Homo-oligomer: A and B are copies of this chain.
């Protein structure tokens, strides 16, 4: 290698960041057309393109000069106010705009929270499986990951308490609504138990809630933030509600933490994008967001339901999955002995990809789970893709039977 000296200089913290499976597999697959259940992409047919175009035109004409200048690092005040109002009213909470900070998607919240709390070796509790982007962001700070199992109604509270008792935990990270990748939502009881534990042990939770508005029927239970406001940073995103290309998310913090989060964030990129903040605020205050969300929820519920039908039609009976109440993913459990990473190599040759379960574990150990995204594929591709996965699975199962007999 020509520039070998450069690679010798790479930091330990950087080298601790795991690669993204989706990116690696796309590099291997090259440019050929794929049916992808791998990414976590919203359905672009649902983007309110015309409305956002109109909003962009109006705000640039009205406030162009302000939009184009440097701005406050906490974000555009009216947008912070809109967020405070919506969630205060949705959950009967007392959120002020001063508690809200706008970020580059909720991904940036994870990075900044880690910067704020995690020195090398500090304990961070994670659900197992957990969101790959969180594992990546946190890994850059070289924490000691403490994984707790996820049951059908949320994380294992005994596991959490034993880590809290241990004493060197700085933070817990969790996605209580329609978790990525498992689709699991915490029951109200689990949320209450977690809130009690946080208070009892003076611990802190980063509650990541990107799918809050993508619930297929009714609403998710209240956020843990409501139950233990001083002990939770609650982060949300416009990526799934409106559109991810705008790159705007937010976090609702205990008020005393705001100046610290702000200082850590300033050092990374000064302030969030003004144009998209103004556009979003105009869109949210001039169009019917709830009607838009209704469309998204119904469409995703349909896509989810159809994918489940196809799974029943084309996959062996032994495969189980959790019925998600929202979000964008199905999490399958394959029979013991099947390696989902080997499976994806086979299906990829036939033009179908998904994310094997080991990507969502800190130690990347072998896994018989797979994550399927249902929000960004049409019915035809869903049927075609699931059929291919089913056929390749059958082959794998036969091999297992043969080698066992």
- Give residues in A with beta carbon < 8 Å to B: 1-3, 5-7, 9-14, 17, 19-20, 23, 39, 41-42, 44, 47, 49-50, 52-53, 56-57, 60-61, 64-71, 103-105, 107-108, 111, 115-120, 122, 133, 136-137, 139-141, 170-171, 202-204, 230, 239, 243-247, 254, 256-257, 260, 263-264, 266-276, 279
Known A104-B273, A264-B140, A269-B104; judge A12-B56 contact (CB<8 A). Answer: no
B12 & A119 in contact (Cβ 8 Å cutoff):
yes
B2 & A267 in contact (Cβ 8 Å cutoff):
no
B61 & A108 in contact (Cβ 8 Å cutoff):
no
Chain A contact residues: helix, strand, loop or mixed: helix
Residue from A11, A68, A267 having most chain B Cβ neighbours under 10 A: A267
B275 & A17 in contact (Cβ 8 Å cutoff):
no
A sample of 26 inter-chain contacts (CB < 8 A) reads A3-B230, A3-B257, A6-B257, A10-B260, A13-B119, A14-B260, A42-B69, A49-B60, A49-B64, A49-B68, A52-B60, A52-B68, A56-B60, A67-B245, A68-B243, A103-B269, A104-B269, A105-B269, A107-B269, A108-B269, A115-B140, A133-B267, A136-B267, A137-B267, A273-B273, A275-B279
Residue from A11, A39, A203 having most chain B Cβ neighbours under 10 A: A11
B69 & A64 in contact (Cβ 8 Å cutoff):
no
Instruction: Tell me, rounded to whole Å, the shortest Cβ–Cβ distance linking A106 to chain B.
Output: 9
B140 & A244 in contact (Cβ 8 Å cutoff):
no
B13 & A115 in contact (Cβ 8 Å cutoff):
yes
Q: Closest 7 A-B residue pairs measured CB to CB?
A: A68-B243, A49-B64, A5-B202, A53-B60, A245-B274, A136-B267, A104-B269
Known A64-B47, A246-B273; judge A70-B57 contact (CB<8 A). Answer: no
Which of B56, B115, B139 interacts with A11 by CB under 8 Å?
B115
Q: Which residue of B lies closest to A275 (CB)?
A: B276
Instruction: Tell me, rounded to whole Å, the shortest Cβ–Cβ distance linking A320 to chain B.
Output: 30
B244 & A68 in contact (Cβ 8 Å cutoff):
yes
Q: Which residue of B lies closest to A8 (CB)?
A: B202
Instruction: Tell me, rounded to whole Å, the shortest Cβ–Cβ distance linking A176 to chain B.
Output: 21
Query: Given the complex of chains A and B, what is the CA–CA distance between A23 and B53 in angstroms?
Result: 34
Known A244-B68, A279-B275; judge A9-B170 contact (CB<8 A). Answer: yes
Query: Given the complex of chains A and B, what is the CA–CA distance between A272 and B11 in angstroms?
Result: 23
Instruction: Tell me, rounded to whole Å, the shortest Cβ–Cβ distance linking A140 to chain B.
Output: 6
For A67, the chain B residues whose CB sits under 8 A away are 245
Which of B5, B39, B111, B273 interacts with A268 by CB under 8 Å?
B111
Which of B12, B120, B133, B275 interacts with A275 by CB under 8 Å?
B275
Which of B61, B246, B269, B276 interacts with A111 by CB under 8 Å?
B269
B68 & A47 in contact (Cβ 8 Å cutoff):
yes
For A108, the chain B residues whose CB sits under 8 A away are 268-269
Query: Given the complex of chains A and B, what is the CA–CA distance between A179 and B246 in angstroms?
Result: 33
B11 & A118 in contact (Cβ 8 Å cutoff):
yes
Residue from A7, A66, A70 having most chain B Cβ neighbours under 10 A: A70
Known A10-B116, A104-B104, A104-B269; judge A68-B44 contact (CB<8 A). Answer: yes
For A202, the chain B residues whose CB sits under 8 A away are 5
Query: Given the complex of chains A and B, what is the CA–CA distance between A107 and B265 in angstroms?
Result: 11
B3 & A256 in contact (Cβ 8 Å cutoff):
yes
B171 & A9 in contact (Cβ 8 Å cutoff):
yes
A57 & B68 in contact (Cβ 8 Å cutoff):
no
Instruction: Tell me, rounded to whole Å, the shortest Cβ–Cβ distance linking A346 to chain B.
Output: 26
Instruction: Tell me, rounded to whole Å, the shortest Cβ–Cβ distance linking A203 to chain B.
Output: 8
A17 & B264 in contact (Cβ 8 Å cutoff):
yes
B41 & A133 in contact (Cβ 8 Å cutoff):
no
Q: Which residue of B lies closest to A254 (CB)?
A: B3
For A20, the chain B residues whose CB sits under 8 A away are 263, 266
Known A49-B64, A275-B275; judge A1-B268 contact (CB<8 A). Answer: no
